[in-house]
Amino acid sequence: MTALDDLTTLLPPPPGAGGTFDWTAVEQRLGVTALPNDFKQLLAVYGDVRFCNALRLFRPATEPWLDLAETTLAAREPLGDNEFGEPPTDIPAAVSVDAATLIQWGGSFGGDYCLWDAHDPDPQQWTLVFTDADKLDWGFYPGTVTEYLLAWLTRRTAPIPLWNLDAVLPTGGRSYCEIYDPTDPVAPVTARIDAATAG
């Protein structure tokens, strides 16, 4: 069983939820040979998705606020502004927070950043980097986006520093995701999937 198998068991996507996306142009714009396979598979299954009304995934899109390359390029200026925010004090070994090699795979509507440290040429080895909109809190996760989502949604890992997990998933609450129509970025939620149990 893979992390994606476990995630789809927890939150079964409805028929037709997934999407087929052209990743080549995004990868070329970001100057990488590829993006992590698990992320592409995740979006192929869930399509345009937001988890627990907190974390939205970015993807190839015509809308700049949703497009993974556009959001990354826009984020690099504030992320690289050394006069703004606080640098992390506990960066794991072999991890970089150089804005030029950070790629934004997701975020919150409050402007928090969910990133990959993409300085390693092998995208399957990238570490997840999290920071809030003010760059005051930082967090790191040595796994894939899918593994992180599964751990977060089932409370097997501490919350990322951007959100208090108890506020997102109150005691006894269930994790959930919302699916959007990828052909209509302003359309309302087309489906909500609640976990069968409280994680």
pLDDT in tens, 21-71: 999 999 999 999 999 999 999 999 998 888 888 889 999 998 898 999 999
Q: What is the mean pLDDT of residues 166-190?
A: 68
CA geometry: angle at 181 spanning 177 and 182, to 5°? 105
Is the model's pLDDT at 100 over the cut of 90?
A: yes
Tokens 């030029």 belong to residue: 100
Specify the length of the chain in residues: 199
* Half-sphere exposure (Cβ direction) of 23: Cα atoms closer than 13 Å: 15
Quick count: other Cβ atoms within 10 Å of Cβ 15? 7
Amino acid at 79: L
Crossing angle of helices 145-153/37-46, nearest 10°?
60
Q: How confident is the model over 124-162, as pLDDT tens digits?
A: 999 999 998 889 889 999 999 999 999 888 877 766 666
Q: For the whole model, what pTM was predicted?
A: 0.89
Separation of first and last alpha carbons in the chain: 18
Asked if the model's pLDDT at residue 19 lies above 90, the reply is: no
pLDDT at 86 over 50: yes
Q: Beta strand 127-131 with 102-107: parallel, antiparallel or unpaired?
A: unpaired
Please report the pLDDT score of residue 198 as a whole number: 41
Please report the pLDDT score of residue 112 as a whole number.
87
